[in-house]
Amino acid sequence: MSAGGGELDEPDEVLIQETLSGNMSSFDQLMGRYERLVFKIAYSFGASRENALDITQTVFLKAFGHLSTFRTESSFKTWLLRIAYNEGINWTRSPRNRQDLHDDLDSAAGALSTDGGQESGMLLTERRRMLRRSLQSLNVRYRTALLLRYVHDMPIREIAGVLQCSEPMTKNILFRGVRNLKRALAQAVGPNAARI
């Protein structure tokens, strides 16, 4: 049982019907149930808290606006995550947002760069820059999968829901994403491999 009491245990379908009947607190409960997960997905595209909050807000506005089109053949969670994934893709297509993403991927690269040894700050900054550029070189599906798995520690099952594919396909995407990231890093490092 959830910490908030019995109402939070209402199935998604009940909360959806209540929302469609005009009970806005039911939609608030749906948001509370999934906002953290939607934020994680949004962050994989926006790579900063501010950008992720903007994307998350848009996702919930779209979900509310299209709630009457939801069909119970799939779960509400999967339906919502698909909206989040599609909205993230739309967000990255804006030239202004692409520049924001370029700047903000530094923090994601820092999270993926776990070697906290005795390196100088300058060398660590260079490693993060190369990792950021290598992440940017991946297609959005690989990048999203890697960030959700290795930065946000999201389970394979949930990543599969976001990417709208099977769990085995998601594992394959992660495998290929890691392989492509390693290749991109090897190209970025080049003759400086011994230093980095």
pLDDT in tens, 34-83: 999 899 888 877 767 888 899 999 999 999 999 999 987 778 988 998 89
Whether the Cβ atoms of residue 27 and residue 19 lie closer than 8 Å to each other: yes
Strands (E), 39-195: none
Its pTM stands at 0.66
pLDDT confidence band for 93 (50 / 70 / 90) = confident
Amino acid (1-letter code) at residue 68: S
Q: Which two tokens stand for residue 15?
A: 């909360």
* Per-chain mean pLDDT for the chain: 79
- Give the confidence band of 2 by pLDDT, cuts at 50, 70, 90: very low
Architecture of the domain spanning 10-189 = Orthogonal Bundle (1.10)
pLDDT tops 50 at residue 167: yes
Q: Rounded to whole angstroms, how far apart are CA atoms 111 and 16?
A: 36
Give the model confidence (pLDDT) of 102-141 as tens digits.
555 554 555 555 544 444 566 667 777 777 778 878 888 8
Q: Got the DSSP string for the chain?
A: --TT-GGGGS-HHHHHHHHHTT-HHHHHHHHHHHHHHHHHHHHHHH-SHHHHHHHHHHHHHHHHHTGGG--TTS-HHHHHHHHHHHHHHHHHTSHHHHHHHHHHHHHHHHHH----SS--HHHHHHHHHHHHHHHHHS-HHHHHHHIIIIIS---HHHHHHHHTS-HHHHHHHHHHHHHHHHHHHHHHHGGGTTT-
pLDDT of residue 32: 93
**What CA dihedral angle connects 154, 159, 160 and 162, to 10 degrees?**
140
Extents of the domains making up the chain = 10-189
